[in-house]
Chains A and B, each alone.
Chain A
């Protein structure tokens, strides 16, 4: 059973601020959705997990220096920038 406090904590982990209304609504909906997910408990599969369909483990390429996006292109969509840098909020 998931509680409103759990939803608030998950919101904090996911970096999404939730309103009181969202917390209440999601609490009810998450319980109903997680109840549905419980049906997986009916199977106890002794098989390896399929992380991907093609069975890829590692994909290597030659260690060759290649070009990348220009600094101007990378900065072009930044809502706030200063000189050659993205401008972010303070961390501490």
Chain B
């Protein structure tokens, strides 16, 4: 169900009917897309809209939110045992905007614990399943949000993207997902994992709804020191015209390890855009091969610092018997964090420790400079870059859990974009058997309008639908 269909249904029946039927779908579903359902508050909101009429850009439209986005009065766990039972006393900036525009929050979606992973298998609440094949992952870490849109009929959802966590599940679930430019959407109220990399991003079944949701959540917020005042009306940018667009195709993203069906589907996608007027040229981003290592060092280092606040004292898990401070704190974190979180916090602590700071963390930050310069140079010559979003379609649940490095390698096409801070959208471009494939369109800083226009034109001519 997209936003227009939800509006039409609400007019024909009622907003309460739409919301009730969504909850019925979710409760019958096997996907495990949600951690918390806000049934009572959502139905109350729905009745209010039915009484007073829909107001705002998203009046009466149901939305699902990733469980790392703080919601006043609704439990927010980050997919972790350590935050089970935590009810934020405030709304994230994006949630304030959604409420102001009349959206109805129906629940909090499943995610990799603290957004660490490309598969939603590290959640304390169990993995989310792929709506196209229940034996496979939905992608991560915003797998619950993507599966809610693709499989349960939620018109729109929000995720967060640190190294591909919106685009990966969008690709695996066959929907549209956007990672905005770093600084376009406020991170106030987003529970931090790696704050120099992550951005909140929208999911929907089509590009128009993603643009509509971006209109609502983008914009300056003084509470986030990295927030920028660069917003525009994204829905006005949508037109079926790419005749002025030069595409760059970076050869490093089509290298070893890419699935044949994925490579073919993305090249077919580029040809479709060429047929409707865009031009393309093959280019190189030479430092791409160092991106993954640099990304993980930076992300783990930031995680080790950001997750230091979880001590069970002010909120979250507290065990029955207290010993001394160090023992109690260490035991709470041992029982509250899952294996992947421990792995990343420990590796981050190691990378920041005396003697290794220069070898790992400082070098990774310098490599980020090189990667960013590669993107800046490439995007001077071309308007957008196109690559596969993921190197392969959704994999089987459990297939990669014993080998963390293999799982990290899955992010190879998405993490360079977070290092450079540029915007990027994943649009469905075909199938491998019954599994969806995503095409990634990358733009210049704050040029969301152009990549949305590219995606919109592609969607019109490719005939691939959610």
Cross-chain contact of B89 among A16, A36, A40, A69 (Cβ < 8 A): A69
Within 8 A of B (CB), among A7-58: 7, 10-19, 22, 26, 29-30, 32-34, 36-37, 39-40, 42-43, 45, 47-54, 56
Q: Are A45 and B420 in contact (CB under 8 A)?
A: no
| Count, A-B residue pairs, CB within 8 A | 162
Do A10 and B329 contact each other (CB < 8 Å), given the known contacts A48-B369, A50-B372, A69-B90? no
User: Which chain A residues lie closer than 8 Å to B408 at the CB level?
Assistant: 33, 36
Q: Are B333 and A17 in contact (CB under 8 A)?
A: yes
Q: Are A13 and B353 in contact (CB under 8 A)?
A: yes
Q: Are A86 and B367 in contact (CB under 8 A)?
A: no
User: Which chain B residues lie closer than 8 Å to A50 at the CB level?
Assistant: 365-366, 368-369, 372
Do A10 and B370 contact each other (CB < 8 Å), given the known contacts A69-B90, A89-B328? no
User: Which chain A residues lie closer than 8 Å to B367 at the CB level?
Assistant: 40, 43, 45
Q: Are B368 and A30 in contact (CB under 8 A)?
A: no
Do A15 and B326 contact each other (CB < 8 Å), given the known contacts A26-B343, A54-B182, A54-B226? yes
User: Which chain A residues lie closer than 8 Å to B50 at the CB level?
Assistant: none
User: Which chain B residues lie closer than 8 Å to A77 at the CB level?
Assistant: 85-87, 89, 314-316
Within 8 A of A (CB), among B318-377: 318, 322-331, 333-334, 337, 339, 342-343, 345-347, 349-350, 353, 360, 362-370, 372-373
Do A76 and B89 contact each other (CB < 8 Å), given the known contacts A16-B345, A50-B372? yes
Do A90 and B324 contact each other (CB < 8 Å), given the known contacts A15-B330, A45-B366, A78-B315? yes
Do A51 and B196 contact each other (CB < 8 Å), given the known contacts A30-B347, A37-B296, A89-B325? yes
User: Which chain B residues lie closer than 8 Å to A42 at the CB level?
Assistant: 290
> Does B170 belong to the interface (CB within 8 Å)?
no
Q: Which of B85, B222, B294 has the most CB of A within 10 A?
A: B294
Cross-chain contact of B323 among A10, A29, A39, A89 (Cβ < 8 A): A89
For chain B, what secondary structure do more than half of its interface residues adopt (helix, strand, loop), or is it mixed?
helix
Cross-chain contact of A33 among B182, B324, B365, B405 (Cβ < 8 A): B405
> Does B271 belong to the interface (CB within 8 Å)?
no
User: Which chain B residues lie closer than 8 Å to A76 at the CB level?
Assistant: 87, 89
19 contacts between A and B (CB under 8 A): A10-B350, A14-B333, A14-B349, A15-B311, A17-B333, A18-B342, A29-B343, A39-B293, A40-B290, A40-B293, A45-B366, A47-B373, A56-B225, A77-B85, A77-B316, A78-B315, A79-B312, A88-B313, A90-B324
| A contacts, CB < 8 Å to B | 2, 6-7, 10-19, 22, 26, 29-30, 32-34, 36-37, 39-40, 42-43, 45, 47-54, 56, 59, 61, 69, 73-74, 76-80, 86, 88-92
| B contacts, CB < 8 Å to A | 85-87, 89-90, 182-183, 196, 222, 225-226, 228, 287, 289-290, 293-294, 296-297, 304, 308, 311-318, 322-331, 333-334, 337, 339, 342-343, 345-347, 349-350, 353, 360, 362-370, 372-373, 404-405, 408, 420-421
Give 17 A-B pairs besides A16-B345, A78-B314, A90-B324 with Cβ atoms closer than 8 angstroms.
A10-B349, A13-B349, A14-B346, A18-B334, A18-B342, A29-B343, A34-B347, A39-B289, A43-B367, A45-B369, A52-B226, A54-B183, A54-B226, A56-B226, A79-B316, A88-B322, A89-B322
